[in-house]
Amino acid sequence: MISSKIMVVLFAAGLGFGYSIERAEQGAPLVSVAPRRDPAWLQDLDPGYQELVSTMKRRGFTIEENAPVCRQEDVVGFYTWGQPVVKICTERIARIRTDPTTFRTLLQQTIAHEAVHVAQGCRHRRGGKSSLGLDAAKLYSLPLSVRNDIQKGLETNRSNEPRSVQWRNEAEAMALEDTPDQVIAALQQFCR
């Protein structure tokens, strides 16, 4: 009799913990008693990318490092439109790029890539159009390997948008990965 009561209490505690994790994945805020600190790698980013992270914060977006999606999906970053959280998979990035310089490069590109999706999401909410308006010639001049990566990524994409829109959104994110100033400008323009 006592052991079954303990089991019920443990089950209820586990259910509550699982619910908290699920709600966090859906973007619901969790109450935390510890103050949130910037990740240690933030200070190692190039100044333009540090400003990009600051701009996202000022616009109400945060970065969550190594969220469960990082273990569940084959991604280095993840953003769900309409959510205030960008997920960056630093553990996976470190496995892919073990050298500190190449780690920083991929991390910066991932942050910029996901920030482009944030700006696209903001634009979509404000006017129904997600494209940032980059010139099609710039998108189609991306290296063939990048365009193939985009196409491969669309195969597992769960978006309801037409494939052509999905392709354009991914191509814009790829095209702007190395230009944090342009990503900052898009965030400032569309995420008010």
Res 39: pLDDT: 76
> In the prediction, which pLDDT does 43 show?
87
Structure tokens at 35: 């103050």
Dihedral through CA 147, CA 47, CA 111, CA 58, nearest 10?
-130
* pLDDT in the model for residue 155: 84
pLDDT score, position 95: 94
- Asked if residue 103 lies in contact with residue 93, where contact means CB atoms within 8 angstroms, the answer is yes
CA nearest 56: which of 83, 22, 93, 84? Answer: 84
The whole-number pLDDT of residue 156 equals 78
Prediction pTM value = 0.78
Question: What is the chain's pLDDT, residue by residue, as a tens digit (192 residues)?
Answer: 444 443 333 333 333 333 333 444 445 444 444 445 677 888 889 999 999 999 999 999 999 999 999 999 989 999 998 899 999 999 999 999 999 999 999 999 999 999 999 999 999 998 888 999 999 999 999 999 999 999 988 887 777 888 999 999 999 999 999 999 999 999 999 998
Residue 36's pLDDT is 57
From CA 124, how far away is CA 19, in angstroms rounded? 30
